[in-house]
Amino acid sequence: MPRHKPQVTASELPADSHLHDRVAPPDFLDCYSVSSDATPRRAAEIITDFPGWARFLLLIRRAVTAPFGLSNDGPDAPDKLGPFPVELETTSEIIAGFNDRHLDFRVSVFAHNDRVSLATWVHPHNIGGRLYLKAILPFHILIARNALRRVAAQQR
121-144: per-residue pLDDT in tens? Answer: 999 999 989 998 999 899 999 999
**pTM for the predicted model, two decimal places:** 0.88
Q: What does the DSSP 8-state code read for residue 22? A: T
- Give 95: exposed, middle or buried? Use CB within 10 Å, 0-12, 13-18, 19+: buried
Question: pLDDT tens digits, residue range 34-91?
Answer: 999 999 999 999 999 988 888 787 777 777 766 766 666 677 888 999 888 999 999 9
Which domains does the chain show, CATH number per domain? 9-153 (3.30.530)
Residue 3 has pLDDT above 80, yes or no: no
- Give 127: exposed, middle or buried? Use CB within 10 Å, 0-12, 13-18, 19+: exposed
